[in-house]
Amino acid sequence: MKMTKIIAASLVASSVLFAGSLADKAKSMGLQPIPIDKNELTKLTDPNGTITPERVELGKKLYFEPRLSKSGIISCNTCHNLGLGGTDGAPAAVGHMWVANPHHLNSPTVYNAVFFKSQFWDGRSPHLEDQAQGPMQAAPEMASPASLVVDRINSIPAYVEEFKKAYGNDVKVDFPTITSTIGIFERTLVTPSRYDDFLNGKDDALNDAEKEGLQVFMDQGCASCHNGVALGGTMMPFPMIKPYKFADVGDFKGDKKGMVKVPTLRNVTETAPYFHNGQIWSLAEAVQEMGRTQLGKNISDEDTAKIVTFLKALKGEKPEIVYPQLPESTATTPKPDFN
């Protein structure tokens, strides 16, 4: 209950102390737009200066590369489909040998994941480059030992040459370099929306109904968890006040402290089903379940509809992604393994 009191107090303080425009109020409550200025955006997406055109193009190829999986048929894009909002549209991710995730975990979107404070539902990974190592090696996902990934890539001369072009002739094409390159590509998957235009000063970027929805979103307390540039991506207790009605689907309980990564609301109309175990398909139902579970309140159908109207305005402009032509295997490339 201590966390609940803190959230309630911050909401009251914000509403009492702030009397500016709606956009200014949103910013005062922790909502942040994707910056318009390229230098400011780079500070968020590339703080270590690792992004180059060559690495992004190579990372894109690796993102779509099914030979990084043991079977040779599953790529990063299988579960994080860039044509489907960065997800797979399934309640639980399906991986090696067509097995559903044993914890019944839903695939979160990769779009705007660069803004997350932590990766994975339990927040165990600090950034995208580290996150990319997990699914590749996980038995229920791509099931590839690191050594197999390295052997496959190094057996293809065209890939080795691309790594040299991206990192220099002395590059060691090892597992961390391969996975980091995927992470570098993922750092470019940013989707600015009309909501960002509104917070960046374009008052007519949202219509009156969407502005009203944003107001209700803040007044109901949704912004206490869904904030920052990502409108999520931090760790919060779940459930906080009342039990989640589908808690018995899968055995996931969050991290050791019961904390779960808050999913981003950007492009939320494209990322159903919702929640960590993908049990709710309706966005309106998801809003009401979050209100009950996390805020301890029953959000009316009328207010829910207003919030959903606002959430639809979070659908952003996707970067153009052209499916790459991948280099051919050689006689020494390890063969697909379905065991």
Across 165-175, b (16+ Cβ under 10 Å) vs e yields ebbeeeeebeb
Q: Is 141 a catalytic residue?
A: yes
Which 3 state secondary structure label does DSSP give 125? strand
User: How far is 73 from 256, CA to CA, in rounded Å?
Assistant: 34
List of long-range contacts for 196-199, beta carbons under 8 Å, 24+ apart: 196/33, 196/34, 196/36, 196/316, 197/33, 198/23, 198/33, 199/23, 199/26, 199/27, 199/31, 199/32, 199/33
Q: What amino acid occupies position 257?
A: K
Q: Does residue 87 contact residue 270 with C-beta atoms inside 8 Å?
A: yes
Which of 141, 186, 270, 289 is an active site residue? Answer: 141
Provide the token pair at 4: 């609940």
> Residue 51: phi, psi to the nearest 5?
-80, 125
Cα 246–Cα 281–Cα 270 angle in degrees, nearest 5? 130
Across 294-311, b (16+ Cβ under 10 Å) vs e yields bbeeebeeebbebbbbbb
Is residue 259 within a helix (H) or strand (E), and if so which, with residue range? strand 259-261
Q: Are strands 259-261 and 235-237 parallel, antiparallel or unpaired?
A: antiparallel
Residues labelled catalytic: 141
